[in-house]
Amino acid sequence: MWLAFAQSPLPAVHEGFVDVPGAKVFYRDYGGGGVPIVFLHAYTGTADAWEYQIPAFTGAGYRFVAYDRRGFGRTAGDANGPASTSPDDLLKLV
């Protein structure tokens, strides 16, 4: 049996890019004055993977931030730029 869940409207989102060595990291920030939580997608995913969790966390007062890891989604690395690791990219985003 399929259950239908009511979707809460998503809060306003700010999207942008953060310059990191060798790439521009795409992120979505759903704002809010609460404690920020950064969501990291699985190896082959994107920030879109968290779509259904946004209302629960923002509704509980948290600031919801998700980003596309290097080489996935809207984040592309520069083939001629310096290599970086996911932790380096995350630190620049934060």
User: Residues 25, 70: contact at Cβ < 8 Å?
Assistant: yes
Residue 15 in 3-state DSSP?
strand
Look at 2-6, 19-23, 50-54, 88-92 and tell me which has the smallest mean pLDDT. 2-6
- The whole-model pTM stands at 0.80
How far is residue 31's CA from residue 76's CA, in Å, rounded to a whole number?
24
For each of the domains in the chain, give its residue range(s) and CATH number, in order of start. 14-93 (3.40.50.1820)
Query: What's the sign of the alpha-carbon dihedral 77, 80, 86, 90?
Result: negative
Tens digit of each residue's pLDDT (9 = 90 or more) over 30-66: 977 789 999 999 888 999 999 899 999 999 999 999 9
Please report the pLDDT score of residue 62 as a whole number. 94
pLDDT band at 86 (very low <50, low <70, confident <90, very high): confident
